[in-house]
A = this chain, B = another copy of it.
Amino acid sequence: MTHQIRVGLFGTGRIGQVHAMSLATLDEATLSWVCDPFIEGAKQTAAEFGGRVTDDPDEVFASGEIDAVIVASPTATHLDLVAKAIEADVPVLCEKPIDLEISRVNAFREIAALSDVPVALGFNKRFDRHFVELKRRVAAEEIGVLEQLLITSRDPGEPPAAYLPQSGGIFRDMTIHDLDMARYFIPNIVEVSAQGANVFSDAIRHAGDFDSTVVTLRGSNDELVTIINSRHSAYGYDQRIEAFGSKGLLQVGNKNDNLVRHWGPRSVESIGPYQDFFLERYAEAYRLEVAEFLRAVRGLPSRSPGFEDGRAALILADAAEKSARTGTAVEVDLS
């Protein structure tokens, strides 16, 4: 492939915009199609980043003018669009979650396995250079054998009430990122325990969802992973990982772009608050995620997570939901 990779984009919401922007910064690719049933959204994105506009996915695939597609449309459409991409022999980067129904995912699994069309999943945290660095050092056995992992993930504020019903619940919507992060370090998870709580949001309670959760995973070597989530955080986006091993501890702390610290009569060493949410915190990661997908498109070795990672994360999220509802640890088999 010597020319620029022509990419079709499905979905022009917040995350679709992010991917369009990433493409704009990458010389090797160009946005060739923008598809959204909300055609105004598609037009606006195309006006800013280029590409032809349609509300019909089939037009995109039929055009012959695409080398790859990015699926950032609502979750319910993910699997169908991935299927179309595989059928059309077009590599696809699909946002998480791959679907909200594991039965549908499993039904599709064989097709995905038999195909050699690259399918990448949008787990952006895998591309954050701090987490990548953490994994490199863990893999280099800097802390010996990995024994425990603690992932803290708190959003600045709860999502709009209107979004909650379609979110699939906190485990499939928010925790799923951390479940995939757990697998980034410990791929083979065998057991899931979870607790959900309602401590602050009436809207979330009314939606039948939890606003705060704790999930504990067990790896096949008896590693214990703890994931702590909250749908709000008064001090900003809280994204930390702590890896405890036989020979030491490694932590990824929160990012703070402010370097000014204050010393006064009532407190010292105070630093300005975290100001970003995921679009800022993971801006570079989103770009690297697309770049890594483009490697796969060009037939190069790529470390993008794939269909099986998307399926595994959903299985873990389902198990967490079940455990939180029943009070029982749930055994899982990701193989």
Contacts and interface: CB of A to CB of B under 8 A. Distances in A.
Instruction: Work out how many copies of this chain go into the complex.
Output: 4
Given A147-B199, A218-B195, A260-B133, A268 B268 contact: no
Contact of A244 (B147, B230, B267): B230
Interface string A267-307: 11111111000000000000000000000000000000000
B251 A261 contact: yes
Contact of A250 (B144, B214, B260): B260
A183 interface: no
A269 B328 CA distance: 37
A37 interface: no
Interface string A95-106: 000000000000
A96 B144 CA distance: 33
A224 interface: yes
Contact of A248 (B147, B246, B263): B263
B218 A197 contact: yes
Contacts of A200: 145, 147, 246
A278 to B, nearest CB: 16
A2 B124 CA distance: 41
Given A133-B272, A252-B261, 20 more contacts: A145-B200, A147-B212, A150-B228, A193-B195, A195-B216, A197-B223, A197-B224, A199-B221, A200-B246, A214-B216, A226-B228, A234-B247, A235-B264, A248-B263, A252-B259, A254-B268, A263-B273, A267-B273, A268-B270, A268-B274
